[in-house]
Amino acid sequence: MALSAASRDAKDAGGAQVAPRKVPLVDVSGSTILPVRIEYIDQLPVANDKATVKRFTVYTGLLEYVSPKSGRKYLIAEKMRDYEDVAPRGALVHFHYYTGSHKNIYDMYDQWFVVEEGVREYTLKDLVGQHGKKDVKVRLVNLRPISDIDKTVKSEVRAEIMNRGLLPSEYDPIETLYYYWVRQRIHGKPEGGEAEPTAVAEEEERGAGEQVELPPPPEPKPQALEVELATAPTAVASATATAAPQAGAQGLVKIYLLSMRLPSKYLVQDVTLEEGREIRSWEGREGLASRLEGIRRKAYDMIGRAFAHVADYGVWIAVSDEAVKEAEKVSEYVRRELRELPLGQVKNVDIDRLYSVKAIPIYMEPEDAKELLGAALKHLSEDVNVLKEKIKKAEEEKNRRHLAQLERDLNYKQALLESLKKYLDSIK
Of 428 and 227, which is predicted with more confidence?
428
Please classify residue 269 by burial: count the beta carbons closer than 10 Å to its beta carbon, then call 0-12 exposed, 13-18 middle and 19+ buried: middle
Provide DSSP, 4-40.
HHHHHHTB-TTS-B-PPEEEEEEE-TTSPEEE-EEEE
How far apart CA 378 and CA 198 sit, in angstroms, is 39
**pLDDT of the residue at 21:** 65
List, in sequence order, every residue forming a beta bridge with 360; answer none if it has no partner: 257
Q: How big is the chain, counted in residues?
A: 428
Pairing of strands 73-79, 167-168: parallel
Residue-wise pLDDT tens digits, 202-234: 333 333 333 333 333 333 333 333 333 333 333
**pLDDT-wise least confident of 22-26, 68-72, 142-146, 381-385:** 68-72
pLDDT at 97 over 60: yes
**pLDDT of the residue at 76:** 92
pLDDT at 329 over 90: yes
Q: Indicate the domain borders of the chain.
A: 3-211, 249-426
**pLDDT of the residue at 274:** 67
> Which regions of 263-388 does DSSP assign to beta strands (E)?
270-274, 277-281, 308-310, 315-318, 356-364
- Distances 401 to 6, 388, 398, 407, 410 between C-alpha atoms, Å: 47, 16, 9, 10, 15
How far apart CA 175 and CA 356 sit, in angstroms, is 18
CA 218 to chain centre: 28
pLDDT at 370 over 70: yes
**pLDDT of the residue at 229:** 36
The backbone region for 215, taken as left when phi is positive above 0, alpha when psi lies in -120 to 50, beta otherwise, is beta
Identity of the amino acid at 411: N
**pLDDT of the residue at 223:** 35
pTM score, whole prediction: 0.46
pLDDT at 20 over 80: no
CB 299 within 8 Å of CB 271: no
**pLDDT of the residue at 380:** 92
**pLDDT-wise least confident of 44-58, 196-210, 356-370:** 196-210
Please classify residue 342 by burial: count the beta carbons closer than 10 Å to its beta carbon, then call 0-12 exposed, 13-18 middle and 19+ buried: exposed
- Distances 233 to 230, 236, 419 between C-alpha atoms, Å: 9, 8, 21
**pLDDT of the residue at 4:** 37
Please classify residue 64 by burial: count the beta carbons closer than 10 Å to its beta carbon, then call 0-12 exposed, 13-18 middle and 19+ buried: middle
pLDDT at 428 over 70: yes
pLDDT at 2 over 70: no
Residue-wise pLDDT tens digits, 295-324: 999 999 999 999 999 887 888 999 988 889
Name 65's Cβ contacts closer than 8 Å, sequence gap at least 6. 20, 21, 22, 73, 74, 75, 76, 169
Give mean pLDDT, residues 271-278: 68
Which residue from 26, 177, 203 is spatially nearest to 94, judged by alpha carbons?
177
